[in-house]
Structure 1
Amino acid sequence: MNPITDVDRDDARRLWDFNLMHHPARPVSAAVALGGCDLGVVSAVAELYRAGLFPTVVFTGGITPATRGRFPHGEAVHFRAEALALGMPDQAILLETRATNTGQNIDFAREVLEDTGQELRSVLLVSMPYMQRRAYATCRRQWPEVEPVCASEGVTFDEYAKAQDDEAEFIAMMMGDTHRVMEYPRLGFAIEQEVPGRVRESFERLCERGYDAWLLHD
């Protein structure tokens, strides 16, 4: 991997802005916190719960190759422990511990929530910031009966990048999410969304620069 340049960061910042859905926070029937490598998801959940936006959250995520080292007991299990440490009541938390991808996060969390018998009209999808658009598109395809609202930890691209142990890996992971936004609709995994030309140009430049480790491959 070449050293990260200012142009790389400008292109990555454009992808970051594209992947944020900019949904206003509002009360919903329940929340789904998608697994991943970032405990900032749990901080966002705790803050939104304290604001009274939902009564129940499902932490979803199993043991995956990407997070096994950090979360050896599975993403949802570690997220729940962090949520309790942040003061969330256990009765507000449900667990889904099988999912290993975003589609399963949505499907399996849906099963958990429907088993509670509560009426579900809207759901707050809490994820890493650069995963919002992918989560939204997946939910719209796989759970069309509910209205998805996206939320994440309130950080800027620069703040998030600075906090990462490996900034290049973070950019590569964001590239992977962007690629899935582009490609998953034709595979039936997500709804189609417009991808502006400037975003595609930034994506292609970053591919050429070697940020391609998390892209889909045939």
Structure 2
Amino acid sequence: MLPDKQPPVTKEARELAKRLWEYHQLRHSIQKSDAILVLGSHDPRVAERGAALWLEEMAPLLIFSGGLGNFTAGVWEDPEAVIFGRIAREMGVPDEAMLLESRSTNSGENIRFTQELLKSKGLDPRSFIIVQKPYMERRAYATFKKNWSDKSVLVTSPRISFENYPSESISLEIIIQSMVGDLQRIREYPKKGFQIHQDIPEEVWRAFERLVALGFDQHLIS
């Protein structure tokens, strides 16, 4: 969980953040696939997007992956996957169409533990739709392709604009902190073998550096 004290979101900071927001999204055209994999987070709208895709018959299997991570440990009592599964059930997805993986605490574990779960069930989907927050689409894609390169994958997120995404529980300050931290990870994690390489345009990296200078540095790798 990020500290309560946050730097002010000035007009400059908002414009810089919008640049990162645009970069983090991949805007894939979603097609029918073998499975929908919803990566856990502190945003229930991600679960709603995954459930809606299942209800639209975009895939026969809906998987929720997530234990308790940075933003939910000590805040939520149940694992992210359990809460997300509950949301999907309330939206009309039957239990037999869902699998829950509730141990993972980061993106790499989301993929690895889901692989283990599917193997234990004798399932081997060839194509996936990944669902994550809008500002984590690119990182989710890069992590999936590093850990599961032989599978086909498309990425999507709740269809909400940058201006409308902040909510009562997810402030714009927290969104900016997350985007800054994830951009650094997109650059650094391929060197550690965690993700595939993704090009970062110069103007996006300059926006990152300026946001760090403005104080949006609380989600950076230590």
TM-score > 0.5 by shorter chain: yes
Aligned residue in 2 for 1:184: 189
**2:199 aligned with 1:173, yes or no?**
no
- After superposition, what is the alpha-carbon deviation per residue over 1:12-52, rounded to whole angstroms, capped at 9, x for unaligned? 11111101111001011111110111001111011111111
For residues 115 and 132 of structure 1, the distance between their equivalents in structure 2, rounded to whole angstroms, comes to 27
Q: In the alignment, is the contact (CA less than 8 A) between 1:58 and 1:113 conserved in 2?
A: no
| C-alpha distance after superposition, 1:66-108 (max 9, x if no partner) | 2124421111111111111111111111011110000000111
Pick the aligned partner of 1:210 from 203, 212, 215.
215
Matching of residue 52 in structure 1 with residue 69 in structure 2: no
* C-alpha distance in 2 between matches for 1:141 and 1:155: 28
In structure 1, what is the Cα distance between the partners aligned to 2:98 and 2:179? 28
Say which of 89, 92, 96 aligns to 1:87.
Answer: 92
Residues 97, 154 of structure 1: alpha-carbon distance in 2 compared, 3 angstrom cutoff: same
The answer to whether the 8 A contact 1:134-1:177 is kept is yes
- In the alignment, the residues of structure 2 paired with residue 163 and residue 17 of structure 1 have an alpha-carbon distance, to the nearest angstrom, of 22
Distance between the aligned counterparts of 1:201 and 1:65, measured in 2? Answer: 26
Query: How many Å separate the matches in 1 of 2:212 and 2:169?
Result: 20
- Residue 125 in structure 1 maps to residue 148 in structure 2: no
Alignment RMSD (CA, Å): 1.4
**2:42 is the counterpart of 1:37:** yes
Equivalent residues in 2 for 1:92-171, closer than 5 Å: 92-161=97-166, 165-171=170-176
Distance (Å, rounded) in 2 between the aligned partners of 1:194 and 1:61: 28
**Runs of at least 5 residues in structure 2 that lack an aligned partner in the other structure:** 1-5
Per-residue Cα deviation, 1:104-129 (whole angstroms, up to 9, x for no partner): 00111122123333342111111111
CA deviation vs aligned residue, 1:144-184 (integer Å, no higher than 9, x gap): 11011101110111110355543212210121111111110
Cα distance in 2 between the residues matched to 1:115 and 1:23: 30
Q: Give aligned pairs, total.
A: 217
1:6 equivalent in alignment to 2:38? no
Cα distance in 1 for partners of 2:38, 2:83 equals 12
Q: TM-score, normalised by structure 2?
A: 0.93
